[in-house]
Amino acid sequence: MPPIIDDTKCVQCGLCVDVCAEDVYYDSKPGETPVVTYPDVCFHCNCCVKECPSQAIRLRIPLPLTLLYKEGNRDIV
């Protein structure tokens, strides 16, 4: 579920917790690796990803939000 924090990179600065509009990281404790309390309201804006000083966050886009595309092996007719 989005977002995913890499524990080995997280410096526990709390910036991601600060910036999230939906407060996905609600109830995170200062000085600890944030908890993703409400992953399914994450709207994938990338604000926490951008804000993280150690690039510790990535978003896993959930399956229902899969982008639908066509295989592109041929040129336009």
Binding interface with another protein (CB under 8 A): 18-23, 26-27, 37-38, 40-47, 49-51, 58-59, 61-62, 64-73, 75-77
Q: Give every CB contact of residue 35 below 8 A, 6+ residues apart in sequence.
A: 25, 27, 28
Smallest distance, another protein to C-beta of residue 12, A: 18
Cα separation, 19 vs 5, whole angstroms: 15
Q: Across the strands, what pairs with 5?
A: 57
Beta carbon nearer to another protein, 18 or 32: 18
Beta carbon nearer to another protein, 11 or 45: 45
